[in-house]
Amino acid sequence: MSDQSSSESSQQPRPPAASRPRVAVVFGGRSSEHAISCMTAAGVLRALDRDRYDVVPVGIAQDGRWVLAADDPAALEAHGRELPEVDTSGPGVVVPMSTSDRALVALRPGEVPATLGDVDVVFPLLHGPFGEDGTLQGLLELGDVPYVGSGVLASAAGMDKHYMKVLLAGHGLPVGPYQVVTARDWQQDSEGVLQRLQTLGFPMFVKPARAGSSIGITKVDDAAGLPAAFEVARGHDPKVVVEAAIIGRELECGVLQDLDGTPRASELGEIEVVSGHAFYDFEAKYVDEADVRLTTPADVPADVRDRVRELAVQAFEVMGCEGLARVDVFWTTAGDVVVNEINTMPGFTPHSMYPRMWAASGVDYPALVDRLVQLALRRPTGLR
């Protein structure tokens, strides 16, 4: 019956745009993860079913301008080491700021502003600050526009590795040893900071507190490497998180809500850097993919699988996440599972670990994208 229904539906004419929910796919942004967001948008634009949705691509340029983008996924893909960026040649876009108006407006120099029509839901695919961190979510809440993914608080706390760890540890979830260095700490007593950090032991990882895609992270093997690592991290964020290295295997788990809001955990994935990189850095993730082995389902004992999946759902709920998240953990040589971080808008290209894990769990990429849009359409904005 399902095959017949599918065949019959494919022969029907596409419904008029007015009867289809309008999805604004927003990507790019001001953060150092601009290119990754563009690559994510390429995958989502390809996956959205135009028979079910009217799709409007909206890019945010690196200077913060919102522009109407071409519906051309190929233009948003990476080509070797050449990374994509938002094309700013299109008309500017004004987003709705009234609870009674959800219309996007296009602005072309010398022309009367043109209404693009109401938006039913926004799919925000920004990574990093000024997008993934609750700022865009707050803007959409002000305009009463439904959107995919977590709200303001979960997005902000999930972006900030410091407060993420505070929340997780405060609810009894295991996190590794770490220290936080604020801009004032560094300015007033950088030598004291460097001395204090050595209590974590070497190696350690120096990270911008509010960045993703492994941008700005340095693995430090001795005290001599700390000052340079701080300069790298502080180039992306004045607040720095320093983590003790945890010896073990790096595992990931996706969380996705059912349409009734129940969070479910995916099969596990494992990341192994096999050559060329000291850790799973930006180049390994997005450029030198041959140097990395991504495995899903991960080959781990059943009790470890169950523990990771349980912790992933717990982390999702502790942080107040909605829609989706990816939870990264370490399975240590001592047999413990330690939560490393949670990502409220994980990498979402078809080759990213989050979609891979759900594909291994029986939810393919188009179905995953559709689920997230449907969840957003069902969820109210405002207090909930």
Tens of pLDDT, residue by residue over 314-323, are 999 999 999 9
Pair 223, 258 in one domain? no
Residue indicated by tokens 């505070």: 166
Pair 346, 216 in one domain? no
Tens of pLDDT, residue by residue over 219-263, are 999 999 999 999 999 999 999 999 999 999 999 999 999 999 999
Pair 113, 167 in one domain? no
How many folded domains does the chain comprise?
Answer: 3
Pair 239, 256 in one domain? no
Instruction: Choose the final residue of a domain: 244, 262, 288.
Output: 244
* pLDDT by 10s per residue, the chain, length 384: 334 333 333 344 444 556 799 999 999 999 989 999 999 999 999 999 999 999 999 999 999 999 999 999 999 998 877 889 999 999 999 887 777 777 888 887 777 677 777 899 999 999 999 999 999 999 999 989 999 999 999 999 999 999 999 999 999 999 999 999 999 999 999 999 999 998 999 999 999 999 876 788 999 999 999 999 999 999 999 999 999 999 999 999 999 999 999 999 999 999 887 655 565 545 555 555 666 788 999 999 999 999 999 999 999 999 999 999 999 999 999 999 999 999 999 988 888 999 999 999 999 999 999 999 999 999 988 888
Residue 333 lies in domain: 159-175+247-378
226: CATH: 3.30.1490.20
Pair 295, 338 in one domain? yes
**pTM of the complete model:** 0.88
* Residue 58 included in any domain: yes
* Residue 153 included in any domain: no
Pair 26, 138 in one domain? yes
Length of the chain (residues) = 384
Pair 225, 366 in one domain? no
Instruction: Choose the final residue of a domain: 193, 228, 244.
Output: 244
CA angle 251, 266, 264 (to 5 degrees): 125
Pair 294, 354 in one domain? yes
